[in-house]
Amino acid sequence: MKIRLLLTVVVTAALSSSADAHFVLVSPAASVVQNRLGDPQKIAPCGGVSANPTRGTPANPGLASNAVTKLTGGSSVRLLVQETVFHPGHYRVALARTAAELPADPMVTTRDSERGPWSVSAAIQNPPVAPVLADGLFAHTERPMGLWEADVTVPNIDCANCVLQVIQFMAEHAKNLDGDYSYHHCAIVNIVADSSKPLDTRWGQASR
Protein backbone atom coordinates (compact mmCIF):
# COMPACT_ATOMS: atom_id res chain seq x y z
CA MET A 1 0.00 0.00 0.00
CA LYS A 2 1.46 3.33 -1.10
CA ILE A 3 1.02 6.32 1.20
CA ARG A 4 1.89 9.88 0.21
CA LEU A 5 1.32 13.46 1.34
CA LEU A 6 0.46 15.69 -1.61
CA LEU A 7 1.33 19.36 -1.23
CA THR A 8 -1.54 21.67 -2.13
CA VAL A 9 -2.26 25.37 -2.22
CA VAL A 10 -5.10 24.95 0.28
CA VAL A 11 -4.41 26.99 3.39
CA THR A 12 -5.68 24.66 6.10
CA ALA A 13 -5.15 27.22 8.84
CA ALA A 14 -7.74 29.42 7.21
CA LEU A 15 -10.24 26.56 7.40
CA SER A 16 -9.66 25.97 11.09
CA SER A 17 -11.92 28.68 12.41
CA SER A 18 -14.57 26.04 13.18
CA ALA A 19 -14.07 23.15 15.59
CA ASP A 20 -16.98 21.23 14.08
CA ALA A 21 -15.35 19.70 10.99
CA HIS A 22 -12.20 17.78 10.49
CA PHE A 23 -11.73 16.16 7.08
CA VAL A 24 -13.02 16.08 3.54
CA LEU A 25 -13.15 12.77 1.67
CA VAL A 26 -11.85 13.86 -1.73
CA SER A 27 -11.61 10.40 -3.32
CA PRO A 28 -13.51 8.18 -3.73
CA ALA A 29 -16.53 10.45 -4.02
CA ALA A 30 -18.39 10.75 -0.72
CA SER A 31 -21.92 9.40 -0.35
CA VAL A 32 -23.04 12.65 1.33
CA VAL A 33 -22.57 16.18 -0.01
CA GLN A 34 -19.78 17.83 2.00
CA ASN A 35 -19.16 21.50 2.62
CA ARG A 36 -15.63 22.89 2.33
CA LEU A 37 -14.82 21.64 5.83
CA GLY A 38 -16.29 18.18 5.34
CA ASP A 39 -19.53 18.57 7.29
CA PRO A 40 -21.70 16.75 8.21
CA GLN A 41 -19.41 13.98 9.48
CA LYS A 42 -19.82 13.23 13.18
CA ILE A 43 -22.39 10.43 13.42
CA ALA A 44 -21.30 6.84 12.73
CA PRO A 45 -21.15 5.12 10.39
CA CYS A 46 -21.31 7.60 7.50
CA GLY A 47 -21.75 11.13 8.82
CA GLY A 48 -24.49 13.51 9.82
CA VAL A 49 -25.02 15.48 13.01
CA SER A 50 -27.68 15.49 15.73
CA ALA A 51 -29.70 18.54 16.74
CA ASN A 52 -27.91 20.80 19.21
CA PRO A 53 -30.44 22.70 21.38
CA THR A 54 -27.65 24.71 23.04
CA ARG A 55 -26.53 26.11 19.69
CA GLY A 56 -30.04 26.12 18.27
CA THR A 57 -29.02 23.98 15.29
CA PRO A 58 -31.24 21.26 13.80
CA ALA A 59 -30.26 17.69 13.02
CA ASN A 60 -28.53 17.26 9.66
CA PRO A 61 -28.36 13.69 8.31
CA GLY A 62 -26.69 14.94 5.16
CA LEU A 63 -27.84 15.16 1.54
CA ALA A 64 -27.10 12.10 -0.59
CA SER A 65 -24.62 12.85 -3.36
CA ASN A 66 -25.72 9.79 -5.39
CA ALA A 67 -22.08 9.34 -6.38
CA VAL A 68 -20.97 5.78 -7.16
CA THR A 69 -17.39 4.68 -7.81
CA LYS A 70 -16.75 1.64 -10.04
CA LEU A 71 -13.93 -0.68 -8.96
CA THR A 72 -12.42 -3.99 -10.04
CA GLY A 73 -12.00 -6.60 -7.34
CA GLY A 74 -8.42 -7.13 -6.23
CA SER A 75 -7.38 -3.69 -7.50
CA SER A 76 -6.63 -0.52 -5.56
CA VAL A 77 -8.84 2.44 -4.78
CA ARG A 78 -7.16 5.84 -4.57
CA LEU A 79 -7.85 7.40 -1.18
CA LEU A 80 -7.46 11.17 -0.92
CA VAL A 81 -8.19 12.97 2.35
CA GLN A 82 -7.96 16.68 3.13
CA GLU A 83 -7.69 17.34 6.86
CA THR A 84 -9.41 20.68 7.31
CA VAL A 85 -9.15 21.04 11.09
CA PHE A 86 -5.99 19.56 12.58
CA HIS A 87 -6.03 16.92 15.26
CA PRO A 88 -3.31 14.36 15.99
CA GLY A 89 -4.52 10.87 15.22
CA HIS A 90 -4.91 8.44 12.34
CA TYR A 91 -7.40 7.08 9.80
CA ARG A 92 -9.09 3.71 9.20
CA VAL A 93 -10.73 2.28 6.05
CA ALA A 94 -13.40 -0.43 6.07
CA LEU A 95 -15.69 -2.03 3.49
CA ALA A 96 -19.08 -3.69 3.97
CA ARG A 97 -22.03 -4.73 1.85
CA THR A 98 -24.29 -2.45 3.90
CA ALA A 99 -23.70 0.43 6.30
CA ALA A 100 -25.14 -1.69 9.11
CA GLU A 101 -22.31 -4.21 8.63
CA LEU A 102 -19.53 -1.65 9.06
CA PRO A 103 -17.39 -2.15 12.18
CA ALA A 104 -17.78 -0.12 15.34
CA ASP A 105 -15.40 2.76 15.93
CA PRO A 106 -12.11 1.65 17.54
CA MET A 107 -11.73 1.29 21.28
CA VAL A 108 -10.24 4.47 22.74
CA THR A 109 -7.91 4.93 25.70
CA THR A 110 -8.71 8.11 27.62
CA ARG A 111 -7.46 10.13 30.56
CA ASP A 112 -9.34 12.38 32.95
CA SER A 113 -9.36 16.11 32.22
CA GLU A 114 -11.22 19.26 33.27
CA ARG A 115 -13.45 18.70 30.22
CA GLY A 116 -14.14 15.07 31.05
CA PRO A 117 -12.63 12.05 29.27
CA TRP A 118 -9.77 13.09 26.97
CA SER A 119 -8.62 10.82 24.15
CA VAL A 120 -5.08 9.47 24.25
CA SER A 121 -4.96 6.66 21.67
CA ALA A 122 -7.15 4.18 19.80
CA ALA A 123 -6.75 0.51 18.97
CA ILE A 124 -5.18 -0.16 15.56
CA GLN A 125 -5.66 -3.46 13.75
CA ASN A 126 -2.26 -4.68 12.56
CA PRO A 127 -2.80 -6.59 10.40
CA PRO A 128 -6.32 -5.37 9.60
CA VAL A 129 -9.15 -7.88 9.95
CA ALA A 130 -12.11 -7.86 7.54
CA PRO A 131 -14.15 -5.76 7.10
CA VAL A 132 -11.29 -3.34 7.89
CA LEU A 133 -9.06 -2.81 4.84
CA ALA A 134 -6.41 -0.52 6.34
CA ASP A 135 -5.80 0.92 9.80
CA GLY A 136 -3.37 3.36 11.35
CA LEU A 137 -3.19 5.33 8.09
CA PHE A 138 -1.62 8.79 8.06
CA ALA A 139 -0.69 8.66 11.76
CA HIS A 140 0.48 12.16 12.66
CA THR A 141 1.04 14.59 15.52
CA GLU A 142 1.61 17.74 13.45
CA ARG A 143 -0.60 19.64 11.01
CA PRO A 144 -0.42 18.10 7.51
CA MET A 145 0.60 20.48 4.74
CA GLY A 146 -1.38 18.82 1.97
CA LEU A 147 -3.64 15.95 0.97
CA TRP A 148 -3.17 12.55 2.51
CA GLU A 149 -3.01 9.91 -0.25
CA ALA A 150 -2.96 6.10 -0.21
CA ASP A 151 -3.75 3.22 -2.56
CA VAL A 152 -5.94 0.73 -0.68
CA THR A 153 -6.53 -2.76 -2.07
CA VAL A 154 -10.17 -3.85 -2.26
CA PRO A 155 -11.21 -7.51 -1.96
CA ASN A 156 -11.95 -9.56 -5.06
CA ILE A 157 -15.73 -9.73 -4.69
CA ASP A 158 -18.88 -8.84 -6.57
CA CYS A 159 -20.66 -6.12 -4.63
CA ALA A 160 -23.18 -3.60 -5.89
CA ASN A 161 -23.57 -0.54 -3.68
CA CYS A 162 -20.92 -1.62 -1.22
CA VAL A 163 -20.09 0.94 1.47
CA LEU A 164 -16.49 2.09 1.85
CA GLN A 165 -16.03 3.88 5.17
CA VAL A 166 -13.20 6.25 6.11
CA ILE A 167 -12.96 7.41 9.72
CA GLN A 168 -10.57 9.74 11.49
CA PHE A 169 -9.65 9.04 15.10
CA MET A 170 -8.77 12.19 17.01
CA ALA A 171 -6.27 12.08 19.86
CA GLU A 172 -6.06 14.86 22.45
CA HIS A 173 -9.76 15.68 22.16
CA ALA A 174 -12.81 15.79 24.41
CA LYS A 175 -15.66 13.37 23.81
CA ASN A 176 -18.13 14.67 21.22
CA LEU A 177 -21.89 14.38 21.57
CA ASP A 178 -21.92 12.59 18.21
CA GLY A 179 -19.25 10.10 17.23
CA ASP A 180 -17.28 10.25 20.48
CA TYR A 181 -13.67 10.62 19.23
CA SER A 182 -14.11 9.74 15.54
CA TYR A 183 -15.34 11.47 12.38
CA HIS A 184 -16.94 9.56 9.53
CA HIS A 185 -17.36 9.58 5.76
CA CYS A 186 -18.51 6.88 3.36
CA ALA A 187 -18.41 6.24 -0.37
CA ILE A 188 -20.68 3.96 -2.39
CA VAL A 189 -18.68 1.61 -4.61
CA ASN A 190 -19.67 -1.00 -7.20
CA ILE A 191 -17.11 -3.80 -7.24
CA VAL A 192 -16.93 -6.36 -10.06
CA ALA A 193 -14.73 -9.36 -9.29
CA ASP A 194 -11.70 -10.11 -11.46
CA SER A 195 -12.42 -13.56 -12.91
CA SER A 196 -8.70 -14.31 -13.14
CA LYS A 197 -8.32 -14.14 -9.34
CA PRO A 198 -9.86 -16.22 -6.53
CA LEU A 199 -12.88 -14.72 -4.81
CA ASP A 200 -12.43 -13.33 -1.31
CA THR A 201 -14.98 -15.13 0.89
CA ARG A 202 -14.55 -12.91 3.96
CA TRP A 203 -17.29 -10.55 2.78
CA GLY A 204 -19.85 -13.30 2.18
CA GLN A 205 -21.87 -13.72 -0.98
CA ALA A 206 -23.73 -11.09 -2.94
CA SER A 207 -27.49 -11.25 -2.38
CA ARG A 208 -29.51 -12.48 -5.32
The string of pLDDT tens digits covering residues 154-178 is 999 999 999 999 999 999 999 998 9
CATH no., domain 21-49+60-199: 2.70.50
Give, as one character, the DSSP assignment of residue 145. Answer: S
- Using the 8-state DSSP alphabet, how is residue 163 labeled? E
Identify whether the C-beta of residue 67 lies closer than 8 Å to the C-beta of residue 31. yes
Query: Is residue 17 scored above 50 in pLDDT?
Result: no
Contact of 205 with 186, CB cutoff 8 Å: no
Instruction: Give the strand pairing for 182-192 and 68-72.
Output: parallel
Q: Are 25 and 187 in contact (CB under 8 A)?
A: yes
Confidence of residue 205 (pLDDT cuts 50, 70, 90): confident
| Cis amide linkage into residue 128, ω under 30° from 0 | no
**Short-list 22, 76, 56, CA closest to 191:** 76
**Which of 124, 152, 126 lies closest to 4 in space, CA to CA?**
152
pLDDT higher than threshold 90 for residue 15 = no
Using only the alpha carbons of the chain, give its radius of gyration.
Answer: 17
> Is pLDDT above 60 for 208?
no
